[in-house]
Structure 1
């Protein structure tokens, strides 16, 4: 299973944090290329991370709706290590506890 990272042309040092925290393949989509605008989530996705300061609004909306429909955890974060780390901890806690849509974490995102 894989995690999808959407936004930012390059991940830089964020890539190391993602590999350390997440237990799966990383799929990075910049979200700025013309072909990325039609992107849809793969079938076997474990979670979605969206960098809000580097993404087209329509793509963010579509990915959010797709993740919600499939009950896949999604986090929206700024492209900074500290902000992302906090968001990832929330996502991992939600996955471990088997949260439903009523938990505070998901309610704030959906």
Structure 2
């Protein structure tokens, strides 16, 4: 199905495992609290970006939104729950 960039969230192992079980072959996680994460670019092969709003630096959320728009990648803002994330991935199928 492709690759997903997950931004934010402190403990996302259960989310990454479930995404892999749904068929996503690569799940990249960027910590949402560290200020130096704003320097990271969105990899070209990423299908879409999930921003977990519960655990993210506001500046990073703004920068990721701008980078996603610039690279024409869909971006979704979700709460740290599987049901919220699952609703997004259902739209992507």
Question: What is the TM-score when the length of structure 2 is the normalising length?
Answer: 0.84
How many angstroms does 1:15 deviate by? Answer: 2.0
Which blocks of at least 5 consecutive residues in structure 2 are unaligned? none
* Contact 1:4-1:28 at 8 Å conserved across structures: yes
Query: 1:34 — aligned with what?
Result: 35
1:66–1:22 CA distance, 2 compared to 1 (3 A) = farther
3-state SS, counterpart of residue 28 of structure 1: strand
How many pairs are equivalent?
Answer: 92
**Greater Cα radius of gyration, structure 1 or 2:** 1
Show structure 1 runs of 4+ deviating over 4 A. Answer: none
Which blocks of at least 5 consecutive residues in structure 1 are unaligned? 94-110
- C-alpha separation in 2, matches of 1:62 and 1:76: 13
| Structure with the larger helix share | 1
Question: What is the TM-score when the length of structure 1 is the normalising length?
Answer: 0.73
1:41–1:32 CA distance, 2 compared to 1 (3 A) = same
Aligned-CA RMSD value: 1.7
For CA contacts below 8 A with separation 6 or more, give which structure has more relative contact order.
Answer: 2
